[in-house]
Amino acid sequence: MARHARLAAVLAMALTLAGCSSGSGFPDAGISSRAPVPDGALPEGVTYKEFVRKLDGRSQSHVQMLAIRPDAKVRVGAIHGTSLARAETVREMAAAAGALAAVNASYFDISTGKNYGGYDGDPLGLYTEDGRLLSEATNGRTTLLLGNGDGRLDARIDEVTTEGQVISDDGARGELDGLNRVPGRVLGCGGVGGDRVAVTEEPMEDPYGGLCTDADELVAFTAEWGERTPPGPPGSMEAVLDGDGQVVDVRKPAGGRIPANGSTLYATGDGADWMRSHAQRGNRIKRSVQMNDMVGLPVEGAVDTAVGGRYRLLKDGESALGAAAATPRKAPRTLAGITADGALLLVTIDGRAPGVDAGATLAEAAELLASLGAQDAIGLDGGGSTSMVVRGELRNNPREAEGKVTERPVANALALFAR
């Protein structure tokens, strides 16, 4: 009880400093008409607040916050839309999943991006849902990890890598380069296999925010991706696997339907050479992907949900931004923080509305989470993606640019469900 009282005290202090609590009037027409979330609308152990904070001491921003105690009567997990290949709004995903509340999560291959690959729901970096790993890590990037064992939420933040392989029943092993993404192009690459910067062909071994290419790949597709895999280039191959991993068909070139209860293994370049020898009809192919920490050891504890971010904001209560702390750009932000008591804070900050919502720099976002009691924190996708939904209602003002409030379709969301 004492640690719960400490968390409540931190939240109360944050609201006092903010000068505004849930239900206060807002000057922006997009949010002012929304009624406060009534007491008892969320399960025991979950608190929702809205407040205003002058993050730079001058210009204000509206902030929305969900605080989830470790013993809250909820399960926290990731959700996506009808397929990984197609983006949907947080409100649509939350409604379809029956979620009590949700915020946007992963960065993704947005259709307005200069390196768009044609599938706007494709999450960039590590993504695990209900214990199923659906997208490989951008190696070295910070990740939010959630477990829900023994009726308690276990939230932590770490830098995570993934190491994948496929094993044929003849004992041959091949490197698995990716999961559920267009083979040959790696947006936000992390040095897996033969990644090269697309514009320079320089080998890339560190996390990189641009586009890499790799002509020699093995990429697995699961049913979560959607109905069909991308059309393959000349020389590509694709093994169609049933639920037991047995090859039931081989397509040349790659591209086609994914079996509802199976998967496919898609190969280009040297990957196709491996397939010709070890993935013929009747062979069985086992897929294995290990999540490791930065020293190469398996990630400890159960991981039901993993969502990769870009910046670690806090570590042990101190800024972890390094040189990124000097970034001057203000923007809407979606943040996740973990308190000393293990509570998970999901926070959105509105922006792009001069005089109403200034947004936040990375440093200001880190300072806000520290003031709310977070010891560790990560930045998730922000900008026009930032969305907070509670009980089916959009509670913030997402903006693609200054002006109109618009809900952006996104790759996935972090959602709360009643136990």
Assess whether pLDDT exceeds 90 at residue 414.
Answer: yes
| Assigned token pair, 224 | 């979560």
Residue 53 is predicted with a pLDDT of: 96
User: Bridge-partner residues for 155, per DSSP?
Assistant: 146
Tell me the backbone φ, ψ of residue 215, rounded to 5 degrees: -75, -15
Q: Are strands 333-339 and 305-308 parallel, antiparallel or unpaired?
A: unpaired
pLDDT higher at 404 or 382: 382
Residue 151 is predicted with a pLDDT of: 86
Residue 52 is predicted with a pLDDT of: 96
What is the strand order of the sheet 161-168 is part of? Answer: 173-176, 161-168, 285-292
Assess whether pLDDT exceeds 50 at residue 86.
Answer: yes
Please report which confidence band the pLDDT of residue 192 belongs to, taking 50, 70 and 90 as the band edges. low
Q: 358-378: per-residue pLDDT in tens? A: 999 999 999 999 999 999 999
Q: Are strands 318-319 and 311-315 parallel, antiparallel or unpaired?
A: antiparallel
Assess whether pLDDT exceeds 60 at residue 30.
Answer: no
Assess whether pLDDT exceeds 80 at residue 207.
Answer: no
User: Per-residue pLDDT averaged across 280-291, rounded?
Assistant: 95
Please report which confidence band the pLDDT of residue 316 belongs to, taking 50, 70 and 90 as the band edges. very high
User: Per-residue pLDDT averaged across 121-138, rounded?
Assistant: 95
The share of the chain scoring above pLDDT 90, in percent, equals 80
Half-sphere exposure of 211 (CA within 13 A, CB side): 14
Range with the lowest mean pLDDT among 19-33, 180-194, 323-337, 392-406?
19-33
> Global pTM?
0.91
d(CA 398, CA 384): 6
- The helix/strand/coil state of 283 is coil
Please report which confidence band the pLDDT of residue 3 belongs to, taking 50, 70 and 90 as the band edges. very low
- CA–CA distances in Å: residue 255 to residues 118, 232, 316, 372: 14, 5, 47, 49
Assess whether pLDDT exceeds 70 at residue 6.
Answer: no
Please report which confidence band the pLDDT of residue 189 belongs to, taking 50, 70 and 90 as the band edges. confident
Domain boundaries, the chain: 2-157+298-418, 161-292
Assess whether pLDDT exceeds 60 at residue 312.
Answer: yes
Please report which confidence band the pLDDT of residue 33 belongs to, taking 50, 70 and 90 as the band edges. low
Assess whether pLDDT exceeds 50 at residue 107.
Answer: yes
| Assigned token pair, 127 | 């993504």
Assess whether pLDDT exceeds 50 at residue 345.
Answer: yes
Q: What is the greatest pairwise CA distance in the chain?
A: 68
Residue 27 is predicted with a pLDDT of: 33
Answer whether CATH 2.40.160 is correct for domain 161-292.
no
Total length of the chain: 419
Residue 139 is predicted with a pLDDT of: 82
User: Per-residue pLDDT averaged across 9-16, rounded?
Assistant: 45
User: Bridge-partner residues for 50, per DSSP?
Assistant: 64
* Long-range contacts of residues 399-408, Cβ cutoff 8 Å, at least 24 apart: 399/332, 399/350, 399/351, 399/352, 399/353, 401/352, 402/352, 402/353, 402/354, 403/352, 403/353, 405/30, 407/89, 407/90, 407/91, 408/87, 408/89, 408/384
Question: DSSP letter string over 349-371?
Answer: E--SBTTTB--B-HHHHHHHHHH
pLDDT higher at 345 or 13: 345
